[in-house]
Amino acid sequence: MVDSGDFPSWGIWCFRLDNATGQSDTNETVGCQVVYTGGDPVVSNGGIMVDYNLNIFHGSNRGNAGDPLHRLFRWNDWGAMGGTSGSLPPPNSSGFTAFANGGPAPAWQIGSGDDYMSAIWDTAIDSRTHPKLVACAMAQSSANVAGGFSGKNGGIRIVSADDGSIVKTNLDLANWYNDVAFDNVGNVYGASRSSNRWRTWSPPGPNTNTTTAVFGIQVSAAATAAHITTTVVSGGNVSITFTADPSDSASAFTLLAAATVHGSYTPVGVSATQVSPGTFNFTVPVNGGTQFYQISR
195 and 223, same domain (yes or no): no
Backbone φ and ψ of 272, nearest 5°: -80, 155
226 and 280, same domain (yes or no): yes
Residue 5 lies in a domain: no
Residue 25 lies in a domain: yes
Hey, CA dihedral for 260, 265, 266, 271, is it positive or negative? positive
The yes-or-no verdict on residue 251 having pLDDT over 80 is: yes
Query: Out of 40-44, 103-107, 263-267, 288-292, which region has the weakest mean confidence (pLDDT)?
Result: 40-44
The yes-or-no verdict on residue 211 having pLDDT over 50 is: no
Residue 212 lies in a domain: no
156 and 286, same domain (yes or no): no
The yes-or-no verdict on residue 217 having pLDDT over 90 is: no
152 and 233, same domain (yes or no): no
Residue 72 lies in a domain: yes
Domain termination residue (choose one: 201, 232, 263): 201
240 and 182, same domain (yes or no): no
Hey, CA dihedral for 138, 141, 144, 146, is it positive or negative? positive
197 and 243, same domain (yes or no): no
3-state SS, the chain, equals: CECCCCCCCCCEEECCECCCCCCECCCCCCCEEEECCCCCCCCCEEEEEECCCCCEEEEECCCCCCCCCCCEEEECCHHHHHCCCCCCCCCCCCCCCCECCCCCCCCEEECCCCHHHCCEEEEEECCCCCCCEEEEEEECCCCCCCCCHHHCCEEEEEEECCCCCEEEEEECCCCCEEEEEECCCCCEEEEECCCCEEEEECCCCCCCCCCCCCCCCEECCCCCCCEEEEEEEECCEEEEEEECCCCCCHHHCEEEEECCCCCCCEECCCCCEEEECCEEEEEEECCCCCCEEEEEC
User: What total number of domains does the chain contain?
Assistant: 2
23 and 156, same domain (yes or no): yes
Residue 210 lies in a domain: no
233 and 147, same domain (yes or no): no
Report the alpha-carbon distance of residue 127 to residue 106 in Å, rounded.
Answer: 20
pLDDT, tens digit (0-9, with 9 covering 90-100), for 168-180? 988 999 899 999 9
Burial class (CB in 10 A: 0-12, 13-18, 19+), 14: buried
168 and 273, same domain (yes or no): no
224 and 191, same domain (yes or no): no
Report the alpha-carbon distance of residue 157 to residue 67 in Å, rounded.
Answer: 18
Report the alpha-carbon distance of residue 13 to residue 28 in Å, rounded.
Answer: 12
Report the alpha-carbon distance of residue 166 to residue 193 in Å, rounded.
Answer: 24
Q: Kindly state the percentage of the chain with pLDDT values over 70.
A: 88
pLDDT, tens digit (0-9, with 9 covering 90-100), for 186-199? 899 999 999 899 99
pLDDT, tens digit (0-9, with 9 covering 90-100), for 63-109? 888 888 899 999 998 877 766 777 777 777 777 788 877 778 899 99
Report the alpha-carbon distance of residue 191 to residue 153 in Å, rounded.
Answer: 15
Q: Residue 223 is part of which domain span?
A: 218-296
41 and 158, same domain (yes or no): yes
Domain termination residue (choose one: 172, 201, 230): 201
- The mean pLDDT of 18-26, rounded to a whole number, is 82
Report the alpha-carbon distance of residue 242 to residue 281 in Å, rounded.
Answer: 6
97 and 127, same domain (yes or no): yes
pLDDT, averaged across the chain: 84
pLDDT for residue 212: 45
Residue 208 lies in a domain: no
pLDDT for residue 213: 44
β pairing state of 120-125 and 292-296: unpaired
Residue 209 lies in a domain: no
The yes-or-no verdict on residue 214 having pLDDT over 70 is: no
Residue 157 lies in a domain: yes
pLDDT for residue 241: 92
- Nearest to residue 81, comparing CAs of 99, 108, 63? 99
